[in-house]
Structure 1
């Protein structure tokens, strides 16, 4: 069967090449296209079209089934493969990416250890242990007192990338 003067296997192969290249291009510059919104997912659309073209080309080339049946089978199989890609790959990746992030207000009340001494009127560095790894933050003394290296500290507040801390023992005495 022919469509637009080309055999269907040629159209399927052309679609496979085109959509495969677009998928590769999307992987490289996908962040620019994220502005399209949540209702349109280019990854799923391109994967559906690529799977559809690949299945159609293979079935046109290797079988003698009616072209309408081939298109229907290709659409169903690519829909299933795209759904599996979404459920088993894209959703877990999206949730894992969010779980590693933190906001500075989450650091309030956490304890850490001074890795670079904090002078009374200057900056030092603390290391805050966490489930997904350690967080290193620039720190200042909340009470403008010297906090030596190795001291356990309590984060009182954090803003603009700087944690205001006080020695944990001192904070325990205040409460």
Structure 2
């Protein structure tokens, strides 16, 4: 079959190369186009590009190895691309979008957590504290809440967070009521 004087196999191959290249560029520079995916929720750029990639790849392969007519191959390619696109959305994109939100934290959520100093905190100075959780490790600058020095490797309790700096005290279970 020819369209505008060009063999259908050539058209499939060109669409495959263009959509594959655009998919690669989207993966590398997707943050620039993030707003497009949010504005057009049902037409996510990754899904549109994946559809054209699946469609053209399956169409090209079927044209090369099957004796089916080009019209039948187009219909099968569209159906296969829709199925693969749906699977990609359900099993990859949706879980990734919810996983991205689950590892986020707010400064207020750090209050009351216990961490460990990895850089000692001098009097009236700054050090660094690491907080561990099920979603990962957070290292933040820290200062002493009471303006006292806290050595490296000490357990600390986060009392306050201000402008990204954790204000901490030495963590000892029996002194918790004295802090507050």
* 8 Å contact kept, 2:37–2:45: no
| Number of equivalences | 175
Q: Does the alignment pair 1:23 with 2:23?
A: yes
Q: How does 1:1-175 map to 2 (within 5 A)?
A: 1-38=1-38, 39=40, 40-169=43-172, 170-174=175-179
* 8 Å contact kept, 2:145–2:167: yes
Deviation at 1:21, TM superposition (A): 1.6
Where does the alignment leave 5 or more consecutive residues of structure 1 unmatched?
A: none
SS at structure 1 position matched to 2:150: coil
Moved over 6 A (4+): none
Separation in structure 2 between the aligned mates of residue 131 and residue 12 of structure 1, nearest angstrom: 46
Separation in structure 2 between the aligned mates of residue 118 and residue 47 of structure 1, nearest angstrom: 51
Separation in structure 2 between the aligned mates of residue 78 and residue 150 of structure 1, nearest angstrom: 55
* 8 Å contact kept, 1:105–1:159: no
Separation in structure 1 between the aligned mates of residue 118 and residue 2 of structure 2, nearest angstrom: 72
TM-score of the two chains, using structure 2 as the length reference = 0.86
Rate the CA distance shift 1:149–1:63 in 2: closer, same or farther, 3 A. Answer: closer
Deviation at 1:88, TM superposition (A): 1.7
TM-score of the two chains, using structure 1 as the length reference = 0.88
Q: Deviations over 1:85-135 (max 9, x none)?
A: 122222222333332332221110101123333223111222222113332
